[in-house]
Amino acid sequence: MFGSKSKQNTDEVLNHWIASADGFTYSPNEFYKLVQEQLEAIEVPGLEISQLEYAEGGVLSSQRIYLRLIRERLAFDVCAAPFGKRYFFSCRTVYSPAMLRLSDVVLVLIYLGLIGRGLYPLLGPVLSGVAVAAIVLTVGIMFQGVVAKGIGNVDAMLIKIPGLGPVYERFFRKETYYRHDTRMMYLDTIPGIVQAVADEITAEKGVKLIREYQIAPILGELYKPLPPRQPAASEK
Determine the pLDDT at residue 154: 63
pLDDT digit string, tens, across residues 157-179: 666 666 667 777 776 677 778 87
Q: How far is CA 235 from the centre of its chain?
A: 41
Radius of gyration of the chain (CA): 23
What is 7-98+178-218's CATH number, 3.30.450, 1.25.40, 3.30.310, 1.20.5? Answer: 3.30.310
Contact between 17 and 211 (Cβ < 8 Å):
yes
Contacts of residue 203, defined as CB under 8 A and 6 or more positions apart, other chains included, come to 209
CA angle 233, 235, 236 (to 5 degrees): 70
Contact between 42 and 123 (Cβ < 8 Å):
no
Per-residue pLDDT of the chain (236 residues; tens, 9 = 90+): 333 334 445 778 888 889 999 989 999 999 999 999 999 999 998 899 999 888 877 666 778 899 999 988 899 999 999 998 899 999 999 988 766 667 666 777 777 778 778 877 778 877 777 777 777 777 666 665 554 555 555 666 666 666 667 777 776 677 778 878 888 999 999 999 999 999 999 999 898 888 766 555 544 444 455 555 555 555 55
DSSP letters spanning 40-96: HHHT-TT-EEEEEEEESSSTTSPEEEEEEEEETTEEEEEEEEEETTEEEEEEEEEE-
User: What Å distances lie between residue 186 and 96, 144, 235, CA to CA?
Assistant: 15, 26, 31
CA–CA separation, 86 vs 16, rounded Å?
Answer: 19
Average pLDDT, the chain: 77
Determine the pLDDT at residue 122: 78
Stated as kind and residue range, the H or E segment containing 168 is helix 164-171
So where are the chain's domains?
7-98+178-218, 102-171
Stated as kind and residue range, the H or E segment containing 155 is helix 152-160
